[in-house]
Chain A
Amino acid sequence: MISRHVYKIICGLFAVMMLSSCSDNRQYETAICALADISGTYAKEKESMVNIIKAGIIPKMVPGDSLFFITIDSSSYDEENLKGKLTLDYRPSQANQQRVAFAELLDEFSSGSTSSKYTDISGAMMLCSGYLKSTMAGTQVMFIFSDMKEELKPGIKRSFSKDEFENMDIAAMNVIKLNEDNTDPQVFRSRIKKWEKRIMKHSGKSWNATLSPTDISDYIDQIR
């Protein structure tokens, strides 16, 4: 009689264990957000940006991963700035088709001539942060393709919340130096330092501004 009860308890515990061990894939997935600056001098970097995303980021994505492509313009905190969104299917064949389709979308963007006067990097980062959080992915990464010089349109206010970049790895990619940076490198360095402080202050997991396009693959492997 006792053994029957013990048997039932063991079966119950096993069932509970099996049920609790079932989890969805989200914690194993990676959500990536690529912010593309289309303002001022950086607008001519569109092609190289697209090439880096196509050759460095998309091939590293595995089924279940997401990619958001957002532009940085005069007022970036706008849904219209989300130029493309990709969540890879779990079937490898479908995932490949999606990759190709997204690459075509990026090519289309690259061939366009859109540009903006001001540079609202913070707004784009806030928009991106919202999208990344919505995925609830285990790894959340933000790649910023910009010279990292923010110029906000008069009247626009941007302030991050305390947990704005919680659990997010942020990397500035293809950061080109401006003329003033060439005159005084300290200007560039202090600008990058300022961004690091700002991001880490708002719960950023890591900050990297020294990534070269060839390092993206290793960087994604490292943060996963």
Chain B
Amino acid sequence: MSNLYIWPDMPFLSITVLVVGSMVFLYLARVPMHSALKSLDEGIAGGLTKASSWIKGVVETMREKNKKVLLESSIADCEQKIAQEFRRVEAGYTKHLADYPALHLKLDESIAVIDSDFKECGQVVPEAPGWNDAVQSIASIKGVASGDRVIEKMLKELHKSAVEGEKMALAEMRKTANQRHKILSSLAPTWNKILKSMGEVQKKVALVLETSGKIEKYMSEYESVRHGGEESIDMLSSKATKLFVFALLVIVIAGFGAFINFNLIALPMSELVPAGTRVLGMQVSDISALVIVMLEVVLGIFMMEALGITNIFPQISGMTMGKRRLLLYASLIGLFFLASVEAALAVLREHIAATNAATTQALAGKTATTASGENSNITVIGQATLGFVLPWILAMVAVPLEMLIESSQHVLNKILILIIIMVGHFIGMLGHIMKTVMNIVVHIYDAYIIVPTKIGEMFIKKT
């Protein structure tokens, strides 16, 4: 500061001269200085305001785009669901209609059996021997009433024959009734068969009705999404966010599972892939273990695709059933192979760990204390089971992975929009602060030159 003094031995006078000099200079330069400050204000605050409004525009565009993406993805999702249901209906119809002729034949056969049995059951009343007409003819002969003995004898004979005939007819009737009952009782299994067939038909019809109900539900959802109202957008957005959170949670848990899986096979892999080379700071054996874990996830994705649970690769979903089945079997075999390898590696790991412990103890001069055989087996079995089961669990990760990828697009966009909005607000606030600061600077400037300004004004008034 003392360097600025005009007269170093007179600081007060120096400061006074400096202040007065600067006041006069700033008073004389007030117009260009005001313009400069105004330009600076416009440059900074105006620029920031423009940046803020540009950000608002960008946010609007992004929101619109996000909305569009959300709607389109939801439409595609609905279409896929409907198509899937139609495929199910088609498959069902193909299968059930193929079965239908057999079912129809079965029903026809059963009905024919019932018909023939029914016909056989027809009750034929055995006719009494034609003695009535004979009795009537004899009765009309003259002299019957006089008690002709010959006629009486004839009538007695006729009576006897009639009684015998009646007995025989009754016996015959009983026999045929018995046969009819037998036939009728043999009808019961046929009825049951028909009942069973009809039950099957009912089940299949219920399935078709359920599918058509689902299609109807999807269609109404599709209609509402196509309509694209605010409500449906909010509903879709909340659905996507919920899906994202749950999928992320599952993926994180699966990540821990993968970590355990990796640690289970990393040590034994160094026995199988011993190498002194590293890639990105990782040992080749560790990378091999990581590749195995990743392969399990990949095979899981293919398995889920082949099952039609996920739809990540359109080429796979577009395959014929035969090819998809082939892919499914290939994935299953691959997974089984990897799971078996992991189980074997887990056993090897336990062996290596036990040897390491024994060597360390031996080097330390202690007697190697080995676990009892039973305990050791439990550990080995546990590790082998874990090694076999974990790949199958990891294979399931395809479902949440697809959900995460689908929903992340919308959720990440939302987060990005939120960040941009915050930046926009911050820039707007900064612009406002800058404008206020510039105004304050101008006022301070005017206050500093108030004395020469007032003198100037007085001088102008006088003249």
Contact = CB atoms under 8 A, between A and B. Distances in A.
B161 to A, nearest CB: 113
B280 interface: yes
Contact of A90 (B276, B355, B363): B276
Contacts of A63: 270, 274
A81 interface: no
Contact of B274 (A21, A90, A96): A90
A96 B355 contact: yes
Interface in B244-297: 267, 270-271, 274-281, 283, 285
21 contacts: A21-B279, A21-B280, A22-B279, A23-B279, A24-B276, A25-B277, A54-B363, A58-B363, A63-B270, A90-B270, A90-B274, A90-B276, A91-B270, A92-B267, A92-B270, A92-B352, A93-B271, A93-B352, A96-B355, A99-B359, A103-B363
A105 interface: no
A74 B99 CA distance: 100
Contacts of B125: none
A64 B276 contact: yes
Nearest to A19: B279
A64 B284 CA distance: 13
A176 interface: no
B360 interface: yes
A54 B352 CA distance: 20
B277 A24 contact: yes
A103 B355 CA distance: 16
Interface in B347-371: 352, 355-356, 359-360, 362-365
Interface of A: 18, 21-26, 28, 51, 54-55, 58-59, 63-64, 89-93, 96, 99-100, 103
A26 B281 CA distance: 11
A155 to B, nearest CB: 40
Given A54-B365, A91-B271, A100 B359 contact: yes
Contacts of A51: 365
A89 B274 contact: yes
Interface of B: 267, 270-271, 274-281, 283, 285, 352, 355-356, 359-360, 362-365
B350 to A, nearest CB: 12
Contact of B278 (A28, A100, A103): A28
Contacts of A96: 355-356, 359
Contacts of B277: 22-25
Contacts of B355: 92-93, 96
A76 B156 CA distance: 156
B62 to A, nearest CB: 25
A29 to B, nearest CB: 9
Given A21-B280, A92-B267, A92-B270, A59 B275 contact: no
Given A63-B270, A90-B270, A92-B270, A25 B278 contact: yes
Contacts of B362: 100, 103
B270 to A, nearest CB: 6
**Which residue, B270, B362, B363, has most C-beta atoms of chain A within 10 A?**
B363
A112 to B, nearest CB: 19
Contacts of B359: 59, 96, 99-100
Contacts of A93: 271, 352, 355
B276 A25 contact: yes
Contacts of B365: 51, 54-55
A17 to B, nearest CB: 9
A59 B360 contact: yes
* Complex A-B, nearest 5 residue pairs according to Cβ-Cβ distance, in ascending order: A90-B274, A55-B364, A25-B276, A59-B360, A54-B363
Contacts of B271: 91-93
Contacts of A55: 363-365
A151 B276 CA distance: 42
Contact of B364 (A18, A54, A100): A54
A100 B280 CA distance: 33
Nearest to A18: B279
Contacts of B352: 92-93
Contacts of B285: 90
B278 A24 contact: yes
B32 to A, nearest CB: 51
